[in-house]
Structure 1
Amino acid sequence: MADTHQHPGVNGHQPAMRREDIAGLLTGHLTQQRAPETPPVPAAPPVPPAAVAPALTDPAAVPRLADLPGELPVDWEVIETLQAEVSKQLAARDPQRLMEEADRRALARSLVTTAVADWAAKYAQANVPLSATQEQAIATAVFNAMYRGGRLQSLLDEDGVEDVMVDGLRAHIEYLDRPRRTIDRVADSHEELIAWVNRMARLSGHGERGLTQSTPMVGFRMPDGSRVTASMLTTRPSVVIRKHRLRDTGLEELRVWGTVNPILQYFLRACVQARMNLLVVGDMGAGKTSLLRALGREIPADERLVTLESDRELYLDEPATSGKPGPVTYAFEARQSNGEIRGDKKAGEVTIADMFATALRYNATRVVVGEVRSTEIVPMLQAMSAGGSGSMCTMHVRRPHAIISRLVQLCTEAGMATEAAHHLIAASVDVVVYIAYDWDDVKHGGRKHRYVSHVYEVHDVVGEGGRPTITEIFGPAGPREPRAVFKNMPSFVGELENKSRFSDLEGAPSFQRSWLTDNPLGAWGGPLQRKGPSS
């Protein structure tokens, strides 16, 4: 293994501690000297580097900024050196990659532990020995660099993190229940950040995806399922990571989180079991994918399912942690271009629209599209209207009243006439669920709120102006209660009663329309808990 003693940041010299050295501790640089052993100091709140006294030279005594990425007793280059060495050893032990992934990772952990222990023994010959905790932190960082989010993993592991937005070397972290926080340095250079993006793309299994001058925009998923979008077209290289906090969610979990109430929970389950075609809509970040995933978990196990996604986020082909069996599922994922243009098409690109023809040949009983953004709207609606009952998808819509207009817009962009689009929508979509997203409470000490505010029935006839006729089944109770309450009985309620089964509800073998009118299960259980000025 390469001797890392000669690295400028990990040598045996002990220079006088300067204020900038203290600041270096907060961005992951090597501790240059160590104060005498002292009793443990209670954790202190975050302190700006300029306010830290030079006497604080023990890493344990420096106020920690919530486990910043790279807050280690060594430079990040040491982690990369160890990672490269372990990867080399792993390749020698399993050159053909024949091991099961779980076994390969277990072997990697063992090799990491040994490599770090060997390195730490050499390091201690000329420096203050590292503690067991520090060695473990280095080992974790090495493993994260190989299989997880590398230098950014500690941010992604924080409770409540929803988005990590990197602008050059600076990161902004968005949380569910507290204000945004900014980290001044999460990489040592723009080149390192770009290298991180490309390493994560390779780990995701997308060898064709990379951030280069020829492909200055890239999107992929991380090993933990987080969605990454990166670009070199911004002022500085930028990365946005959307973390899926609720990857294995069902409707029950969404009820606990406040996205649906008990009536909506069982109504939507009945819609899935009765094979209604469902469209989940809302603004960006509203939780559309989480709700679609939960609805997909309600599809009976004896069916055949195809999922089509630009980036894999539904994971309906994986067993649920609840142990509940699911349908036979084929998960298709789009492929990005390698940057070349051949004719009027990007070389190597396979879009969701391209995958539809193949997916339908799998004789699936349902098709689920992660998100409809463009021309794939037409094959999606055609699949719904031509026998794909029970199919589902999500779509970005800013306001509930704009749902039909947004559908028509996408259809006309795909080449359809407006009248034909109206008829196709009416023949395809049965139910539209709108999720609202309120985030203003965060700045007042509250949390973000995601909840179903509207549910519409789309009738299979066109009405005034040639537009599809819709009925509001659930809608807001009033200005101070924006969450959905029952408004009107759907025309398909008989199908819900005949085709749904609720074995987990004692004495209720199928959906009952009286649940909507009598509310025996309760509604939202109290007003929305707001902390903003409108509360």
Structure 2
Amino acid sequence: MTERDEQHPHATDPGVAESRPLHAVPAPPAPQDAPDPAVVADVRRVVAEALAARLQAEPVGDDAARRELARGLIAAELAERRRAGVRAGSPTWSRQAELRTSAAVMAALFGLGRLQPLVDDPDVENIEVDGHANVWVCYADGRELQHPPVADSDAELIEILQLLAARAGGAERMFSPAHPALHLRLPDGSRLAAVAWTVARPQVVIRRHRVRDVDLDDMVRLGTLDSVLAAFLRAAVRAGRNIIVTGLQNAGKTTLIRALANEFGPRERFATIEKEYELHLDDLPDRHPRVVPMEAREGSAETDAAGHRAGQVTLSDLVTDALRLNLRRIIVGEVRGAEVLPMLEAMSTGDGSLCTLHARTAQHGIDRIVTLCLSAGIQMTETFAYRLLAGSVDLIVHIELLDDQSGKHRFVSQVVEINGLGEGSRPTTTTVFGPGEDGRAVPLHHPESLARLVRAGFNPSLLAHRAGTWAPWPLHQGDPR
């Protein structure tokens, strides 16, 4: 996918099918002018010392100014090494080699070192590192390639991650034997997760969000929805329905939440609550001038008598705080713990809130919510948990990820309406959309809230399209994530 495709997902050619080889193929050879890691490490050391001395003598608060100062020091150091090579009769560097070395040093100082070029590649979807030398890159077109090492040792890889955690600023993350897991957002919006000390080799996964400014019409073009389902969900958002998006990892839940949120009215005030910023709706001021982005904080290693970390701010804390900020809607990026209770409270007292949840099916999502309620650390019966869910959630939208030899297919397969408690403890439901012959969602039943959706602009005759309006598989194989 090109940079233009990333910014405008509807520009993706739907006629080009994704393909995935049966077996991963070797990585392409390194460029002839690839920088020497030993030279990069040595130049980084010299420049880091010079940069620290300059900043100590004359502090520079602006990050852009610090980077510009570093570029000047790198250029001076490389020029001196080039002159020394000429005096010694050594082969001179090509201009391309010098530029690559300079970029590698900048990446080592301010970025991810040898991982940085992969993060900068617009075609890269996921990066998986199992120790410093076992690096696999998943591309948007389905390829999985092994790449050269990203560090000279596992210890150097851990050092890179520790420096990255230390530069996280106000949302500081720690990475040490006492805190062996690291989760943070990179400057480009990608999400990094790392684990060390509790595993045999350091593990790093970087997930890139290639499509951000996306609405429901774009999701139709990408093949995640058909036109009937898009019209239904658009009306549900406008009608203030509380929606939970379920699916497995990498199914595209976050992207669908972005698309639903981009159907909000431009004057609506709402909050996004995340462990690490991923939605990036505040980066779209033309769409969302009144969004309040909120991010959790891990806290320090010190704990109080109750075992809480000093300075820790949980998702539950943020949801509770958000309820006092005069918001119409609250979006929780992912519900996976005790924050389920304040989230359900927000849904029961407001309208149009959204969240995502890991689940295998829409019905499994119901059980997952109840399980999280029962494990939240307060006294609650299963019957009360189901009652709380039935009074809070209106719709569960499930996304399926089909990954076969023809490529990746991400599509909504179910939309289930919650209709209140039934005779037993479980809520009654209506499967408004269910899997058709190929698994993609097609209309099955009229929702009980149809009148409310009609008032929000939905045309009920669309539900007569019993086969949906999906295009044949080869026409829609875009990757919305």
Short-chain TM bin: 0.7 to 0.9
* Map 1:134-533 → 2, pairs under 5 A: 134-169=97-132, 170-183=134-147, 185-205=149-169, 208-232=172-196, 233-319=198-284, 324-348=286-310, 349-386=312-349, 388-414=350-376, 415=378, 416-441=380-405, 446-459=406-419, 461-478=420-437, 481-499=438-456, 510-518=457-465, 523-527=469-473
1:342 aligns to what SS in structure 2?
A: coil
Where structure 1 has 5 or more consecutive residues not aligned to the other structure, the ranges are 1-45, 49-62, 500-509
1:338 aligns to what SS in structure 2?
A: coil
Q: Deviations over 1:364-417 (max 9, x none)?
A: 11111010001110110011001x201100000023331211111111112321
Q: Deviations over 1:424-451 (max 9, x none)?
A: 111111111101012232xxxx321111
* Map 1:30-179 → 2, pairs under 5 A: 64-65=28-29, 71-73=34-36, 75=38, 76-81=40-45, 84=48, 87-88=51-52, 91=55, 95-97=59-61, 99=62, 112-113=74-75, 116-126=78-88, 127-169=90-132, 170-179=134-143
Q: Deviations over 1:216-256 (max 9, x none)?
A: 12211111111111112101122121222223333333222
Of the structure 1 ranges 153-162 and 186-195, higher mean CA displacement relative to structure 2 is found in 153-162
State, as a whole percentage, how many aligned pairs show the same letter. 37
Q: Distance in 2 between matches of 1:227 and 1:355?
A: 20
Q: Partner amino acid for 2:460?
A: R
Q: Distance in 1 between matches of 2:218 and 2:57?
A: 42
Q: Partner amino acid for 1:329?
A: V
Offset, 1:496:
2.6
Q: Which has the higher contact order (CA 8 A, sep 6+)?
A: 2
Q: Distance in 2 between matches of 1:86 and 1:309?
A: 38
Larger Rg: 1
**What is the CA RMSD across the aligned residues, in angstroms?**
3.0
Q: Deviations over 1:251-275 (max 9, x none)?
A: 3332222212222223222221221
Q: Distance in 2 between matches of 1:89 and 1:295?
A: 50
Aligned residues: 447
1:341 aligns to what SS in structure 2?
A: coil
Where structure 2 has 5 or more consecutive residues not aligned to the other structure, the ranges are 1-23
Q: Distance in 2 between matches of 1:279 and 1:528?
A: 29
User: Cα gap change, 1:453/1:93 in structure 2, threshold over 3 Å: closer, same or farther?
Assistant: farther
Q: Deviations over 1:89-114 (max 9, x none)?
A: 873697251x4x56665665566555
* Map 1:8-27 → 2, pairs under 5 A: none
1:472 aligns to what SS in structure 2?
A: strand
Q: Distance in 1 between matches of 2:335 and 2:431?
A: 23
TM-score of the pair, normalised by structure 2? 0.84
Offset, 1:329:
1.4
